[in-house]
Amino acid sequence: MFVRLDALPRLAERLDNQDVRRRVEEMLGDDVVTVEVDAADILVRQGGEAGLLAVLTEMGRRTDDPDVDYIANRLYEMDAGGELPVLTMAAAIDSEKMTSNARIGLENLRQLRGLQ
């Protein structure tokens, strides 16, 4: 666990590399919640539209998984705290790029923010 957690900041510096991005996206499904949340944080902050889409998709795919609540709460904190306009960023994504799971993830995040 600590190796993966320690590696995330270094991976974030190389997120433009497709293999690195894929590895960070895989970490969204890690057995350790802290790794999942930190991977989501990195993807949303530094991964651009594709990173946000990956996180929303994972949130939608795992709707019934309580571990995803931690990811949703991190995104909520970013948005509600004014740190990063996650919902505004998501609204700017072309609807054709939004998978059904990404839409579910976004809807769940909006509900968490009290916007539905």
Read off the pLDDT of residues 53-73 as tens digits, 9 standing for 90 and up: 999 999 999 999 999 999 999
pTM, full prediction = 0.92
Terminal CA-to-CA distance of the chain, rounded, Å? 36
Read off the pLDDT of residues 93-104 as tens digits, 9 standing for 90 and up: 999 999 999 999
Q: Which domain holds residue 69?
A: 2-112
Residue 27: pLDDT above 70?
A: yes
Three-state DSSP class for residue 113: coil
Number of domains in the chain: 1
What is the band of 3 on the pLDDT scale with cuts at 50, 70, 90? confident
Q: Cα separation of 112 and 116, whole Å?
A: 9
